[in-house]
Homo-oligomer: A and B are copies of this chain.
Amino acid sequence: MDIQPLLYYISNYVTLTPEEEDFLREHVIVRKYLKGQYVLQQGDVCKVSSFILKGCTKMFYIDKDGQEHIIMLSVEDWWTSDIASFIEQQPADFNIQCLEDTEMAQFQYSNIDHIFEKVPKLERLLRKVTERGLAAAQKRIIRNFSMTAKERYLYFRKTYPKIEQRIPQYMVASYLGITKEFLSKIKGQLALED
């Protein structure tokens, strides 16, 4: 598979010349992972920032009690990386694991400055993508503060209907910041209400 979905995605932000597209093709790595494979493990340095061409991943954190907390669920046309580890090249706090067989286009830390220098439009792209990510993270913080678990679940279901169908329920619970048992009870309640 080639990077067509990435090129199409990029065209929503900036317009690349054919030469720039070729340059990009030569400088990103297309890589396939199997379901269950780790793209990054807590403690390792995050060396790539990945665009998902096909498949699905979770980024999660294991806390001191051994509990898993999902920070982010990513599907096609989303990015995934432990950005703190990537920019500082320090050991990652987070894990990234594939929930399906997954194909990614990966930007490597080792040549990203070179890429940005040759094609400044890509730096613009990454800036804009990161800005959106930050805006989304801030709104998520607010939702976690101002909504009940039930409201957050309904929001999730409405906003990412496709994702809910692709992953087990206990992962949705983890993404929402609640236990799997409580999400089950919420769903039970909602079923009664209809």
Contacts and interface: CB of A to CB of B under 8 A. Distances in A.
A43 interface: no
B116 A124 contact: yes
A165 B1 CA distance: 56
Contact of A141 (B64, B126, B127, B144): B144
Nearest to A177: B145
Interface stretch (A18-26, A29-37, A131-139, A186-194): A131-139
Contact of A146 (B67, B84, B124): B67
B141 A87 contact: no
A181 interface: no
Contacts of A83: 131, 134-135, 138
Nearest to A49: B131
Interface string A79-94: 0000110010000011
A130 interface: yes
Contacts of A141: 71, 137, 140-141, 144
Interface string A153-194: 000000000000000000000000100000000000000000
A128 interface: yes
A143 to B, nearest CB: 10
Contacts of A144: 141, 144-145, 177
B130 A123 contact: no
A177 B120 CA distance: 39
A26 B133 CA distance: 30
Contacts of A94: 138
Given A123-B123, A124-B116, A130-B134, A142 B69 contact: yes
A93 B72 CA distance: 22
The 10 closest A-B pairs by CB, nearest first: A84-B135, A137-B137, A127-B127, A63-B146, A145-B177, A134-B134, A130-B130, A69-B145, A83-B135, A133-B134
